[in-house]
Amino acid sequence: MPEIWVPYGQVETLLTIQAENLGAVVEAREDRRTEDLDRLTEKVKTSSRLLVCDTKPPTIEALKDIVAAIGEGPLPRILAADTRKVESFISELKGRVSQAPRPEDAGGNEVALGPELGAEGSKTFLATAQPDPLFGLVDAKVAAALNWIGGSKRISAQSAKDFTPAPFEMTEAFAAAERMVATIPEASFVTLVPSQGRAGRVFSDAPFDTIRSGFFTATLPQARAIVVGAGGAGYDDSLSGALRAVWAAVGGVRRTGEILLIAECSEGLGSKALEMLVSGRLGGEGGRRKDRYVDGLEEVEYLDRLTADYNVMLLSGLPELYTKSKMKLGSARGSGEALGKLLNKLGRTSKLNVVTRAPECRISSA
């Protein structure tokens, strides 16, 4: 009987699936970096600032390698979107990472850079890429804008024609973020494409198409059901992250089919719009207009589309009150119960596709 492990927060959950029920299994290949550590380290050493955009495992792995390679030599000023997590993962940086403040959103389309971004001196931004239904993909440029440019999420969302999910497509939202970071002086952007939870390919100042080409691609025959792993810690910390990750894998399931989304959601919902939704403070067209944007508004649209087109079960740590009553999502207390529910509904001879790490893959239908 095949055993498949899917990331779930800091651990993994076991899927035990009968061979006759198992369709395609997609696990990203293990890639080697296309830019070696020496070149990446030299880029960082010559920068006055290193800005760490996220705490996904590939980003932390690359940062550990850089710190080890520099050794006793001087490090640039290190700033992070989440100082606490960076220092907890890399003990050598304890007390050496600064918080880079983000300016307030003043409204309108004026771009406001955080104070560290407008300062003199070269800056290297480090981030892990992932597919995204609004931006097409999030690279170091988009991550820099979202972290440290005031109003960047609102401006990007309002530049989109609509909120139709478009993973791996060059979108107006991506172009808007790219224009914003072009105002940062002396900036360089290093983007890691993940592979099996580690730092795979490395791209410096690369265009959208180049970064997209670094992702593992697979074509699947559409099954009646699919199991989608949202990526584990760094990816599945919130429902917000899980909803953005799932769209990279829906090509492997038929419309009106079943999706089992595995995401721990240890930090809760993850966006203001989702919190407003479950508390009943967001409803009707008037509350969902782009000109009245609140953080994560597009995620409410993605949730609506997901539950309209598919039957979705969420395996997470969220209360059932949220998932079932407020979001129209099924729930289960464990992977065995979840798979049992799927097969009881579809029939014991049904096939299930499995994508263990959706943020690392680009899935299309056969």
Position 285 scores a pLDDT of: 54
- Report how far apart, in Å, the C-alpha atoms of 232 and of each of 56, 118, 225 are: 9, 34, 21
18 to 4, 83, 228, 340: CA distances (angstroms): 11, 44, 18, 11
Q: Is the model more confident about 174 or about 71?
A: 174
Q: Which residues touch 36 (CB under 8 Å, ≥6 apart)?
A: none
- Strands 216-220 and 361-365 come out as parallel
Average pLDDT, the chain: 91
pLDDT tens-place string over residues 203-258:
999 999 999 999 999 999 999 999 999 999 999 999 999 999 999 999 999 999 99
Which residues neighbour 68 within 8 Å (Cβ) at sequence distance 6 or greater? Answer: none
CATH number 3.30.590.10 given to 37-213:
no
pTM flag (> 0.75)? yes
Residue 34 confidence (pLDDT): 61
List % helix, strand, coil for the chain (3-state, nearest 5).
35, 25, 35
Q: Are 8 and 197 in contact (CB under 8 A)?
A: no
Q: In the prediction, which pLDDT does 347 show?
A: 85
Distance separating alpha carbons of residues 41 and 50, to the nearest angstrom: 11
Q: What is the pLDDT of residues 35-54, one digit of tens each?
A: 677 788 888 989 999 999 99
Collapsed DSSP state (helix, strand, coil) of residue 293? coil
Provide the residue ranges of all domains of the chain, joining segments of one domain with +.
3-28+216-365, 37-213
The structure tokens listed for 284 are: 């009707």
- 125 with 145: CB under 8 angstroms? no
Amino acid type, 302: Y
Average pLDDT over residues 184-189: 96
Report CA Rg, the chain: 20
Q: For residues 161 and 171, what is the distance between their CA atoms, to the nearest angstrom?
A: 9
Quote the CA–CA distance of 194 and 282 in Å, as a whole number: 35
Q: What is the pLDDT of residue 289?
A: 74
Report domain 3-28+216-365's class: alpha beta
Q: How many CB atoms lie within 10 A of CB 55?
A: 21
Q: Residue 187 and residue 197: Cα distance in Å, rounded?
A: 27
Distance CA 334, CA 314 (A): 10
Angle, helices 140-148 vs 152-159, to 10°: value is 120
152: region left, alpha or beta (phi > 0 left; psi from -120 to 50 alpha):
alpha
Cβ atoms 87, 93 nearer than 8 A: yes
Query: What pLDDT does 93 receive?
Result: 93
Strand, helix or coil for residue 354 = strand
Give pLDDT tens digits for 67-105: 998 887 888 999 999 999 999 999 999 999 999 888 888
Question: Where does 196-269 show beta strands of DSSP type E?
Answer: 198-204, 216-220, 223-229, 253-262
On the question of pLDDT at 287 being above 60, the answer is no
Q: CB of 357 within 8 A of CB of 28?
A: yes
